[in-house]
């Protein structure tokens, strides 16, 4: 579905992504792992149009999408989750979801004056959709709560929920489990699996929690120093000599990987 060919992203003389080549199969939940500083987030940001590549190519279903800005990728169903921005923290969780689709009639002055009924209908439909998403994620009780006041894990669910307000095809999740308690992490895992099975979402997931990766991801791609080291099931990756070497001595955060 997505093919990344010889992708480079340099910051000055530093090669954060250094010739990464990989493919993401349609319908998969692909895990992207690697020690700190391996270039995972940078790779995500380049694929999702947040950063321009230095060189290389990204294509989706054969179409060149290299360097397309996030809003164009959004319309093609390529979504990357973002933390709920500070300025939206004072809006309710429901409103945070309702503002995702964009392009509603209410956004033009003409429609504000003359299209009131249509706007009201669109708002009703959006509100129903947002409530459906909140229910799916088991956080319907937070509909009226300000997004800035819910827990870290609930915010992560809301971030995932934003991708459900539009017809996503592929969703990039960056450390969705960071700082999230086990129960909520299980809810997030359930939601990802369900979206994958029932709505054909393809996911690419950056995560340091190996239990989470093991539960939901196949295949797993391991990066180190800006390159792809190995691809396979988590068991295969864990047994890979190059992977073990890359993880060794990289600090506490990576200890799960080498069983230290
Ligand atoms: N805007 C930037 N300017 C300069 N260097 C950057 C920039 N963004 C990232 N880097 C560097 O690129 C390298 C890769 O960073 P990146 O965040 O992609 O790694 P990562 O694999 O996601 O790491 P982690 O697991 O710790 O989040 C790091 O050494 C980082 O310091």
**pLDDT single digits (tens) 130-152:** 999 999 999 999 999 999 999 88
Token pair in block for residue 178: 């960071």
Q: Average pLDDT of 181-207?
A: 92
Token pair in block for residue 78: 């390529």
Q: What span, in angstroms and rounded, lies between the C-alpha atoms of 90 and 96?
A: 10
Question: Does any ligand 1 atom lie closer than 6 A to the CB of residue 34?
Answer: yes
Q: What span, in angstroms and rounded, lies between the C-alpha atoms of 244 and 238?
A: 7
The 3-state secondary structure of 137-205 reads CCCHHHCCCEHHHCCHHHHHHHHHHHHCCCCCCEEEEECCCCCCCHHHHHHHHHHHHHHHHHHCCEEEE
Number of separate helices (H) and strands (E) present in the chain: 11, 10
* Ordered structural domains, the chain, with CATH: 1-77+167-260 (3.40.50.300), 84-166 (no CATH)
Indicate which atom in ligand 1 lies nearest the CA of residue 44: 18
What was the pLDDT predicted at 254?
55
Q: What span, in angstroms and rounded, lies between the C-alpha atoms of 113 and 96?
A: 25
Which residue, among 178, 156, 187, has the nearest Cα to 84 in the 3D structure?
A: 156
Q: What span, in angstroms and rounded, lies between the C-alpha atoms of 29 and 195?
A: 10
Question: Does any ligand 1 atom lie closer than 6 A to the CB of residue 200?
Answer: no
Question: Does any ligand 1 atom lie closer than 6 A to the CB of residue 40?
Answer: yes
Question: Does any ligand 1 atom lie closer than 6 A to the CB of residue 37?
Answer: yes
Q: Which of 66-80, 200-214, 244-258 has the lowest mean pLDDT?
A: 244-258
Work out the pLDDT band at 191, boundaries 50, 70, 90: very high
């Amino acid at each position: 579905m997505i093919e990344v060919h010889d992708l480079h992203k340099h910051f000055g003389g530093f090669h954060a992504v250094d010739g990464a080549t990989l493919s993401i199969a349609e319908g998969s939940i692909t895990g992207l792992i690697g020690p700190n500083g391996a270039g995972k987030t940078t790779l995500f940001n380049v694929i999702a149009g947040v950063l321009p590549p230095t060189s290389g190519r990204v294509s989706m279903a054969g179409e060149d999408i290299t360097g397309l800005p996030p809003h164009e990728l959004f319309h093609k169903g390529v979504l990357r989750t973002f933390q709920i921005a500070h300025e939206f923290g004072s809006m309710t969780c429901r409103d945070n979801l309702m503002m995702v689709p964009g392009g509603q009639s209410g956004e033009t002055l003409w429609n504000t004056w003359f299209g009131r009924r249509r706007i009201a209908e669109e708002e009703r439909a959006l509100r129903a959709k947002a409530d459906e998403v909140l229910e799916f994620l088991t956080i319907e009780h937070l509909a009226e709560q300000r997004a800035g006041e819910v827990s870290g894990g609930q915010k992560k669910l809301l971030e995932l929920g934003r991708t459900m307000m539009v017809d996503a095809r592929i969703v990039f999740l960056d450390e969705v489990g960071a700082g999230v308690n086990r129960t909520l992490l299980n809810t997030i895992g359930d939601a990802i699996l369900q979206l994958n099975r029932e709505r054909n979402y393809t996911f690419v997931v950056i995560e340091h929690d190996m239990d989470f990766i093991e539960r939901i991801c196949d295949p797993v791609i391991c990066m180190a120093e800006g390159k792809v080291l190995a691809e396979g099931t988590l068991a295969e990756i864990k047994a890979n000599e190059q992977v073990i070497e890359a993880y060794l001595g990289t600090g506490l955060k990576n200890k799960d990987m080498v069983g230290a």
